[in-house]
Structure 1
Amino acid sequence: MSDKISAKSNPDVELQAIALRGSDRDYQALAINLTLPEICPKAMCELEIPAELDWQQGVILYGQAPIWLYSYLVERYQDALWVGCYDIREKAVVVVKSSVPEWQPGDTIPIIPNNVPGAAILVGGPPESGKSVLSNALRVGVLGKRADVQVYLHRANWDGEGNHTYETLDSELVARLRKENNVKLHHHPNANELIGRYFGYHAKATENIRKVMDLALFDVGGVPDPVKTPVVEQCSHYIVISRYPDKVQEWHDLCGEKLKPLAVIHSVQEERLEVLQTEPFLEIVAGPWKRESPRSVPDVLLQAVLKLLP
């Protein structure tokens, strides 16, 4: 995807000057790599500007980072001719600030990926089993072991959850954001049409994400509906987490012919870890998976995921 030029680092964030390949030429970019799964705002004060950045060009901000860090970097790099942010879902750069007529805010620049698609794990299972908690724990766990890789968690469901759900101590704010962003497409008069378009969009986003990430995790909600097949077809592996043993087969039916099973987790409310089998896929009993006190990923599961990384 990119050609590494050099690196500057501090304990929380590593910035790299890289080149992203466009349809007409290479573009200067700044890759944002978090060396910790979670960073605090003081990281803004510790960042160093890579010396080789050319201020007579535009600068693309590339990587997964908090909105406040992106806002800070847009302001800090205002001396560049223009500043854009890479949208992984659209596989394009969106210009957000410019002092030249060539590019205006809102313009997009297609980026051509050139790496082999990364592994993509679909996480499925019935409601209240711990899908979202597990997905975030996997993201944190993988980054804790391999800070050198790019990991992306994409939520292809409309329940209003996001990484912010697990990265703030303000439970009231979390509840408000979930409520405000839960769009409930299935309650809409033309639900079938909207849901079909919704998963069609996320299938394309999944394809684009895999082209630039080493590992992508996809939370597709709690119903094994065939309408989600376009997203399923863009993944490579799947994990089922279920508190109901009789619901596991439904997810095998949805994913099994298209993807490789990585793990089945029988979710329980008590503190427990029991390995039932390791072949042909990992099967464990594990818990609890609670949003208010998320647990770390069992090492046997984390190791299975790490084997998918380059």
Structure 2
Amino acid sequence: MITPLRLYLSESLVVQNLKYQVLSVELTSSDRLIEPQNIKNLELPSGIDTTGGVIISGRAPMWLYSYLTHALHPTAWVACYDPRLGAVVSATNSRQVCIGQVIPVNPPNGRQNHVLAQEKRNVETGLCPALMVVGPPDSGKSVLSHALFQALLSDHSDIYLQRAHWDGEGNYVLELSSQTTDEEIEGFKLRNKGVLTERFFPYHAQAILQLRRQKSLVIVDVGGMVQPEKLPILEACTHYLIISSKPEEIGAWHEFCRDRGNLIPVAVIHSSLAEVEEVHRSEPYLEITSGPWLRGQTKGVPENILKYVKSLFIAKN
């Protein structure tokens, strides 16, 4: 059986007088999924320098990171790379570092291999586009964001979905079994729900900027209310997409994102409970009626929508 992941070990590097190597995880299947049995006979690459640290980097489930951290126990220290923060030290046998220390590194990732994406990025700042997905509650923002992310991921592994909201509805909710009831989902969300604090949106804005330095596209889900507290998110993003089941509320989102935030509109999706795809206009942005955007009922992202989103980070020939 072919294992749908690869591990790559870098040469020895130095930052802040700390010697380290990067252990990169690459998920190789088209859907970027692995199963627990895939790590049963997984071996670390040869050439690990145990006198230094190892930074684990790459998109992978928590249990794979847990296994790799355990397997790397003989090294001086182990850190897990979070593209929003840096490398966070999670295990150490040395006084060189301490638990929770953030090491400012940017390990190589797939973006360096995407020439078209580099051609499209901002030359002066080196920042990729960030697309805010906005609209009133119960329109399908979370479902659309997740569907966009999944649709782009198979061909563009350096896409990132940032959930900048505290409602407890992360990707894990959308990926629960089809047998999970609405009551169970609402209970799960309630247990994981947070509250708005003064540092919430500034924290996520900084995370988005950090992600834009490394990715080809950052998709941002910011929840369903027009709020002045979200201005830091506006400043960190470049484009917006409205999905709304309430036509009368679309204007307020244009005013907030385009007029106040100076963001560029990509599309307006009139969210429908019916299975429909009707394009109303293509310029200056896409306007379309599409649906349904409900968990377990969405069949995929219409090609028209994908085309406009891809145009943000893939240069035209």
TM-score (norm 2): 0.82
Query: What's 1:139 paired with?
Result: 149
Contact 1:262 1:282 (C-alpha < 8 Å) held by counterparts: yes
Whether 1:171 aligns to 2:180 is yes
2-structure distance, mates of 1:119, 1:21 = 30
2-structure distance, mates of 1:260, 1:27 = 41
Query: What's 1:79 paired with?
Result: 74
Query: What's 1:68 paired with?
Result: 63
Contact 2:268 2:286 (C-alpha < 8 Å) held by counterparts: yes
Contact 2:127 2:212 (C-alpha < 8 Å) held by counterparts: yes
Unaligned runs of 5+ in 1: 1-9, 186-193
2-structure distance, mates of 1:308, 1:24 = 39
After superposition, residues 1-310 of structure 1 pair within 5 angstroms as 12-18=4-10, 22=15, 27-35=20-28, 36-45=31-40, 47-90=42-85, 92-111=86-105, 116-146=126-156, 149-169=157-177, 171=180, 174-185=185-196, 194=197, 196-257=198-259, 258-309=262-313
SS of the residue 2:277 aligns to: strand
Contact 2:4 2:27 (C-alpha < 8 Å) held by counterparts: yes
**Structure-2 change in CA distance of 1:205 and 1:303 (3 Å):** same
**Structure-2 change in CA distance of 1:122 and 1:75 (3 Å):** same
- What letter corresponds to residue 193 of structure 2 in structure 1? N
Deviations 1:178-212, CA, capped at 9 Å, x for gaps: 11111244xxxxxxxx2x42111111111112122
Question: 1:38 offset after TM fit, Å?
Answer: 3.4
Aligned length: 289
1-structure distance, mates of 2:15, 2:308 = 35
SS of the residue 2:187 aligns to: helix
SS of the residue 2:280 aligns to: strand
Contact 1:113 1:212 (C-alpha < 8 Å) held by counterparts: no
**Structure-2 change in CA distance of 1:304 and 1:54 (3 Å):** farther
2-structure distance, mates of 1:211, 1:281 = 26
- What letter corresponds to residue 39 of structure 1 in structure 2? I
- What letter corresponds to residue 29 of structure 1 in structure 2? V
Contact 1:96 1:105 (C-alpha < 8 Å) held by counterparts: yes
Contact 1:273 1:285 (C-alpha < 8 Å) held by counterparts: yes
Query: What's 1:5 paired with?
Result: none
2-structure distance, mates of 1:21, 1:279 = 50
2-structure distance, mates of 1:251, 1:38 = 35
Contact 2:216 2:313 (C-alpha < 8 Å) held by counterparts: yes
Contact 2:164 2:204 (C-alpha < 8 Å) held by counterparts: yes
SS of the residue 2:287 aligns to: strand
Question: 1:230 offset after TM fit, Å?
Answer: 0.7
1-structure distance, mates of 2:67, 2:308 = 37
92-101 or 170-179: bigger deviation: 170-179
2-structure distance, mates of 1:168, 1:239 = 26
223-232 or 134-143: bigger deviation: 223-232
**Structure-2 change in CA distance of 1:273 and 1:80 (3 Å):** same
Question: 1:269 offset after TM fit, Å?
Answer: 0.1
Deviations 1:203-256, CA, capped at 9 Å, x for gaps: 111111212222211100001222211101101111110011111111111111
Unaligned runs of 5+ in 2: 113-125
Question: 1:52 offset after TM fit, Å?
Answer: 4.6
**Structure-2 change in CA distance of 1:299 and 1:15 (3 Å):** farther
**Structure-2 change in CA distance of 1:213 and 1:99 (3 Å):** same
